[in-house]
Amino acid sequence: MSKILITGGAGFIGSNLVEHFLGKGYQVVVLDNFATGHRHNIEQHYNNPDFTLIEGDIRNNADCQKAVAGVDYVLHQAALGSVPRSIKDPQTSNEVNVTGFLNMLVAARDAGVKRFIYAASSSTYGDSASLPKVEDVIGKPLSPYAITKYVNELYADIFSKTYGLETIGLRYFNVFGRRQDPNGAYAAVIPLFVKKFMSHESPVINGAGDYSRDFTYVDNVIQMNERAMTTDNPEAINTVYNTAVGDRTTLNQLVEYLKEFLIEYDAEIEKVEIVHGPNRQGDIPHSLASIDKAKQLLGYEPSHVIREGLKEAVRWYWENLK
C-alpha cells in the first residue's frame, strides 16, 4: 500500500484521517508540533508498525523534508485555524498557514510526492453574497485567516503549473465530529455548545442566531480526502472542491438539534436557556456549498447530513467528556 503523510495528524480532522487510512492498510506518517493537536488522539497507534510519528513544525524546513521522505501522498491538515485567533495574532497565523504551507509544497516537490491534498477553507468566499457557494466565484477575504487560506490555493495552483506537482484543495465547511476539542479560547461552536449543555450552562450564540452554516460531519471530510487522493481522473486534479453537505442550518436550529439529542442522556438539559451575544467580527452571515463539482469529478456523496452527524457526535462527546 501507499505511504501517506498527514500533517497535523494529532488534530481533530487529522487524527480521524490517520485512523481511517491505517484501518485500510496504508503506511501513515504524522507530522505534528502538538500546538493544537493532542497525543491522546493518536497514541492508540504508537505500536502499529505502519504508523510513524515525527514531532516537528511545518515552519521548519528540515522537519518538512524529513516527513516527506519516501511518501506517495501528502494530506496537509496542519494549520492555525480560527478567524478570531487570526484577528488577534495575524503574524503567527501567516507564519503557520502561509510559510508553513509553502515549506510543505517545496518539500513535497523535491521529494517527488505524487499528489498534495490540502485543507482549504470556506472562508475563502469572503464577502461574496452569492448562494450556494460555487468554487470559481469568491469575494474579498474578511479575516487574516481567510487571506492565508486563499494564498494556499494560489501557491498550490502555481506549483501545479510550474513544477507539475498534483494538488487538490478541499474547502472545508464547518467540520464537526468526534475528537473535536471543546476546550480553549477558540473552540468550535458545536463541541463548545455540547460541553456547555452537559455542564447545565447556557451556550452563547453570537448575534440573533439567524446566521447559517453548512455543517459538515467529519466522515464526509474523510471521504473527500480519500477520493481526492485516489482519483485517476485527470480533470479532477489541480483544482479545489467544496467539502460540505449542500445544506445549511442556522445557529438557532443547531442548538435545538443539540438539545434534542442531549436530553436523551440527561433530561435536565431541556431546562438550559440560550444566551445571545454580539455578532463576531469577521464572520460570514451565511454559508452554503454547492457540491456539484465534487459529485461530478470525484463521485462524492455525503454519508451524513446534519442531524445524522450531530447524533453521532453527541454520543461520542457524552461517552468521552463525562
Q: Which of 84, 94, 60 is nearest to 143 (CA)?
A: 84
From the number of C-beta atoms within 10 Å of its C-beta (0-12, 13-18, 19+), residue 221 rates as buried
Percent with pLDDT over 70 in the chain: 99
pLDDT bucket at 280, cuts 50 / 70 / 90: confident
Q: Does 124 fall in a domain?
A: yes
Catalytic-role residue among 26, 118, 125, 145: 145
- Distance between CA atoms of residues 119 and 156, nearest Å: 11
The arithmetic mean of pLDDT across residues 298-312, rounded, is 96
Cβ–Cβ < 8 Å for 166, 160: yes
Q: Does 131 fall in a domain?
A: yes
> For the domain that residue 108 is a member of, what is the CATH number?
3.40.50.720
> In the prediction, which pLDDT does 12 show?
96
> In the prediction, which pLDDT does 116 show?
98
> In the prediction, which pLDDT does 81 show?
87
Q: Which of 116, 120, 95, 118 is nearest to 107 (CA)?
A: 116
Task: State the average pLDDT for the chain.
Answer: 95
Residue 30 main-chain phi, psi, to 5 deg: -115, 130
Q: Does 188 fall in a domain?
A: no
Q: Does 281 fall in a domain?
A: no
Q: Does 235 fall in a domain?
A: yes
Cβ–Cβ < 8 Å for 180, 191: yes
> In the prediction, which pLDDT does 4 show?
98
Residue 133 main-chain phi, psi, to 5 deg: -75, 125
What are the pLDDT digits (tens) for 203-245? 999 889 999 999 999 999 999 999 999 999 999 999 999 999 9
> In the prediction, which pLDDT does 157 show?
98
Residues 6+ apart with CB under 8 A from 290: 132, 133, 134, 135, 242, 246
Number of domains in the chain: 1
- Distance between CA atoms of residues 116 and 217, nearest Å: 23
Q: Does 71 fall in a domain?
A: yes
Q: Provide the grid cell at 28.
A: 501513515
Structural domain boundaries enclosing 139: 3-176+218-246+289-303
What are the pLDDT digits (tens) for 13-60? 999 999 999 999 999 999 999 999 999 999 999 999 999 999 999 999
Residues 6+ apart with CB under 8 A from 59: 95, 96, 99, 100, 103
Examine the residue annotation and report whether 257 is marked as an active-site residue of this protein: no
Residues 6+ apart with CB under 8 A from 73: 2, 3, 4, 5, 113, 114, 115, 116, 117, 229
Q: Does 61 fall in a domain?
A: yes
pLDDT bucket at 285, cuts 50 / 70 / 90: confident
> In the prediction, which pLDDT does 77 show?
98
> In the prediction, which pLDDT does 279 show?
84
The arithmetic mean of pLDDT across residues 103-120, rounded, is 98
Neighbouring C-alpha atoms within 13 Å toward the C-beta of 52: 16
pLDDT bucket at 278, cuts 50 / 70 / 90: confident
The arithmetic mean of pLDDT across residues 152-169, rounded, is 98
